[in-house]
């Protein structure tokens, strides 16, 4: 039995084979998984029901396994609440730069060969997609 917070076997496997520079999409429940991802990316479904699991449920667990060097989010439409992105900033800290890009630019990035893992969540908040780039492994010393 793993003595570890993250115990989902397909997710652990996908993270284990990802390396520095690989990208992971934590996708909200509105994301078009069928058409707007790299066809070679591993798709892991954690979208149990609307609201279960959320991106902010999954993010801290992923952070126990890998470090991140950057993040990308969709630029929200004017007047739309995208406060979830402020939550991501708190989770990731000041050392991980977060860039906002337009929706279709975001889709283009996610379809790139660098995206190796897409995690489908039941996140219901708008503009809650979070694309993360894996950083270097931290030394144990």
Per-residue model confidence as pLDDT tens digits over 113-129: 999 999 999 999 999 99
* Residue 126 forms part of a structural domain: yes
Q: How many domains does the chain have?
A: 1
**21: its two tokens:** 């520079």
- Quick one: average pLDDT of 23-41? 96
The whole-number pLDDT of residue 138 equals 72
CATH number at residue 97: 3.40.1650.10
pLDDT in tens, 6-28: 999 999 999 999 999 999 999 99
Residue 1 pLDDT class (50, 70, 90 cuts): low
**24: its two tokens:** 């992971």
* Residue 121 forms part of a structural domain: yes
**102: its two tokens:** 């337009």
* Domain assignment of residue 49, given as a range: 9-134
The whole-number pLDDT of residue 137 equals 80
Whole-model pTM?
A: 0.94
């Amino acid at each position: 039995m793993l003595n570890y917070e993250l115990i989902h076997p397909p997710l652990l496997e996908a993270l284990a084979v990802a390396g520095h520079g690989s990208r992971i999409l934590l996708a909200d429940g509105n994301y078009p998984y069928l058409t707007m991802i790299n066809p070679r990316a591993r798709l892991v479904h954690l979208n149990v029901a609307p609201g279960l699991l959320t991106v902010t449920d999954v993010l801290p667990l992923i952070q126990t396994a890998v470090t991140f060097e950057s993040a990308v989010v969709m630029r929200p439409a004017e007047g739309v609440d995208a406060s979830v992105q402020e939550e991501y900033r708190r989770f990731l800290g000041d050392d991980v730069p977060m860039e906002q890009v337009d929706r279709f630019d975001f889709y283009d990035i996610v379809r790139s060969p660098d995206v190796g893992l897409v995690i489908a969540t039941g996140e219901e908040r708008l503009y809650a997609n979070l694309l993360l780039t894996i950083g270097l492994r931290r030394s144990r010393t």
